[in-house]
Amino acid sequence: MLILGIDPGTTSAGYALLENQANKLKILAADLIKVNSPKEEERLEEIYNCVRNLIKDWNPKMLALERLFFTNNQKTAIEVAQARGVILLTAALAGLKVYEYTPLEIKKIVSGDGKADKSQIKKILGLTLPDVKNLKAADDVFDAIAVALACHYKDARLTAFKI
Contact 18, 27 (CB under 8 A): yes
Q: Which of 31, 46, 79, 140 is catalytic?
A: 140
Query: Measured between alpha carbons, how far is 108 from 118 in angstroms, rounded to an integer?
Result: 12
- Cβ neighbours of 153 (radius 10 Å): 15
Q: Which of 7, 31, 79, 143 is catalytic?
A: 7
Amino acid at 148: A
Does the annotation count 139 as an active-site position?
no
Q: Catalytic residue at 7?
A: yes
Q: How far apart are CA 60 and CA 105, in angstroms?
A: 22
Residue type, 160: A
Q: Is 42 a catalytic residue?
A: no
Active-site residue identified among 46, 66, 79, 143: 66
Active site residues: 7, 66, 140
